[in-house]
Chain A
Amino acid sequence: MRGETAVIWERLHEFFAMGGFALYVWGSYAVALAVVLIEIVLLILRKRSILGHLGWTGADLKTPDEERLAQHRRPDREGVVENELP
């Protein structure tokens, strides 16, 4: 099938060369992927940090069940009064 939907890359190295614009094209796509991954990692770290400071590691706000929360509470933070984030 020819026309707009035809196969446009006949060889793999042509795809990576991008008609001589590899630095610019792949530089854009790589940085886009990188910033997305960085944002996801930062978000995971932030969630972990706040749950850790609340003493709720692993637990989320699913149920107010004390036993369930106690299972997930970190033993080394037992009895620690935490009002402040650093």
Chain B
Amino acid sequence: MLLSEKFLSHSFFRDPENEDGLRHCHPETLYRLAGLMVPPFVVVALVFAAAGLYLGLFAAPGDTPLGEVYRIAFIHVPASWMSMLIYLAMTLCAGIGRAFDAPVAAMTARALAPTGAMFTFLGLWTGCLWSKPVWGLWWIGDLEFYSELMLMLFYSGVIALHTAMNDPRRADRACVPMAFTGLVWVPLNFASVQSWSVEHAGTAFGFAGAPGLGFISPTGMLAMSLGFFAYTGAMTLLRLRCVILENERQSDWMARCAEKPL
């Protein structure tokens, strides 16, 4: 027996009403589970964001080659990471939803997109605010700028499709090729920051062994990232609950919960 099969055969995951089904693939179970998971995510987000803000604004030293402006990085780096990570998660969920005909996976992809778009906007905005004082221009036609902009456009496309199409299940299917097309910009964005852009601050002082800001700054960025990650979890689960209610409003289980046809 595969480890994954053994794991999923645990009674926590089995659907008592469906021999082959997984309990959390049922929207009702997922709705309740999502509700239970929100408070821990909120607590973790608040703790790590507070720690990150303290480290970034108060503990990290200011006497760097760039001066105080580098404190933008405590927002910019975590936001950019989250924009890429959420795009991967969204595409994975959309693909699983299509491949295995799992509506809850497609609903999760739908719930992830707005938070991803928000972090991508934040990455672009802070990138421009970094670019102006450091390089003298608000916008530089480098790959890291364009790839982040393209991610923004693909997030917008996924959201726009769902807004424009009346049938959410058809919109889910239409989103899959779009999401997979945009996937190419994730490694390009990552690589542009990591390696071939000498200008990018990631190589000026960062994680790649450059003589930089010592221990505190990477720790602050890591704390901020974990805070943003937990925030994404909380927002996505809350939005997933809304999506489930919107999507399933004519279903049997919701009628059962309300004891009247909805």
Query: Which residues of A come within 8 Å of B, CB atoms?
Result: 4-6, 8-9, 15, 18-21, 23-25, 27-29, 31-32, 35-36, 39-40, 42-43, 46-47, 50-51, 53-54, 56, 60-61, 64, 66, 69, 81-83, 85
Contact = CB atoms under 8 A, between A and B. Distances in A.
A43 B235 contact: yes
Report whether over half of chain B's contact residues are helix, strand or loop; otherwise say mixed. Answer: helix
Category for how many chain B residues contact A: 35 or more
B213 to A, nearest CB: 9
Interface string B24-67: 00001001100100000000000000000000011111100001
Contacts, number: 108
A75 B158 CA distance: 38
Given A24-B69, A25-B72, A28-B126, 8 more contacts: A20-B68, A24-B130, A25-B69, A28-B129, A31-B122, A35-B118, A43-B235, A47-B241
Contacts of A81: 261
B115 interface: yes
Interface of B: 28, 31-32, 35, 57-62, 67-69, 71-72, 75-76, 79, 114-115, 118, 121-122, 125-126, 129-130, 132-133, 214-216, 231, 235, 238-239, 241-242, 245-246, 249-250, 254, 256-259, 261-262
Contact of B122 (A15, A32, A47, A56): A32
